[in-house]
Amino acid sequence: MPSPSAAPPSGHASAPGLRWDVFCQVIDNYGDMGVCWRLAADLASRGHAVRLWTNDAGALAWMAPWGTPGVQVLPWPAAAPADGPGDVVVEAFGCEIPGAFVASMAQPGPGRARPPVWINLEYLSAEGYVERCHGLPSPVLHGPGTGLTRWFFYPGFTPRTGGLLREPALAARQARFDRAAWRAGRGIAADALAVSLFCYEPPALAQLLQRLAAVSGGAHLLVTPGRAAAALRALQGPGGAPAAAAPGAHRGVLVAWLPACPQPAFDELLWACDLNFVRGEDSLVRALWAGQPFVWHIYPQDDGAHRAKLLAFLDWLQAPASWRQAHLAWNGMAPAASLPPLGPAELRQWHACALRARDRLLAQADLLTQLLGFVDGKS
């Protein structure tokens, strides 16, 4: 688990930063923590002090094993902290801040002329309501936070939204990355197709293996631990390969079973591969910054709301027909057999579209830059 530290990192502006409280409640996957850790680490890198409150910090043991100066990781609070709330309180994904903490936000404190700026950081979507709701106030009319205002902050893909998390050093780090050396070190030939697999339980997984087996030059499937590895082992039958096994072959495809890795190493995986299967919110954003072809496994919702969300994203992406079909088949919204071929022509088309989408996003301010400006306007 990261070593807690409240000291801001060196090498940044001497002007004092703000104190931030970020609340993250882990339910059943790593995405929420992934987003919150990136936010907290980016804040600390810009000279702010962050307390990250969570009910389950276990994933940080591999996601961010060294921690980062300026971020404290703390258990979900049963009471308000002795030194009161920070200047900004971020409630990630509607996680419901404990009442005692909210009550402390409504009370005057030493050296604090006004309540903290309360941000409700919402889930990512390309649907139209995001632009309409981004930045709207939600006055609290009852309960321990009576009189406070909670502000909706929506990540998004267009200039009228809050943008996407993108740390300032990301482009330089990617430019320094030696893709050829990374692949060579893992036995991946220059002309082979390298594919990362980070997914839930896709109905078209068997069809993916068939498409990869047909790839000229051979295919390497790099499988992340957890649900992706379990889904592939289920196809292999009883006693399938363990999650950390040495590379082997499955239906004509070379398979590498990856260990859990820190966030920077996951970025490198996405940069090195020719096609990335990603899931949830955090890895989708990192796949967009990678600029490589990808297929998004959206988190399935019982009411089917994920279908409209996926279609809105594909519309924003301006995905060509074959790329759109790949997403629909992978997410069970079209027959699994309709998963398109993964030939050079398809991947070139997807790659060009991915780069255009990344260029549009790079023309917009990143999420934290926008959030800092938003908070400054409310302080």
Which residues are marked as active site? Answer: 32, 281
DSSP string covering 152-175:
EE---SSTTS------TTHHHHHH
Q: Residues in the chain, how many?
A: 379
Distances (CA, A) of 300 to 210, 281, 305, 327, 331: 24, 12, 8, 13, 8
DSSP 8-state code for residue 77 = P
β partners of residue 72: 51
Question: β-pairing, 149-153 with 275-279?
Answer: unpaired
β partners of residue 112: 109
Q: In this structure, what token pair is assigned to residue 80? A: 């308000």
Largest CA distance in the chain: 68
Residue 51 in contact with residue 21, Cβ under 8 Å?
A: yes
Q: In this structure, what token pair is assigned to residue 206? A: 């068997």
Q: In this structure, what token pair is assigned to residue 3? A: 């070593």
Q: In this structure, what token pair is assigned to residue 138? A: 């939600």
Residue type, 26: V
User: In the 3-class helix/strand/coil scheme, how is 207-276 assigned residue by residue?
Assistant: HHHHHHHCCCCCEEEEECCCHHHHHHHHHHCCCCCCCCCCCEEECCEEEEECCCCCHHHHHHHHHHCCEE
End-to-end CA distance of the chain: 33
Question: β-pairing, 294-297 with 275-279?
Answer: parallel
How far, in Å, CA of 278 to CA of 286, rounded? 9
Q: Which of 40, 53, 60 is nearest to 262 (CA)?
A: 60
How far, in Å, CA of 205 to CA of 208, rounded? 5
DSSP 8-state code for residue 118 = E
How far, in Å, CA of 50 to CA of 297, rounded? 31
How far, in Å, CA of 24 to CA of 37, rounded? 9
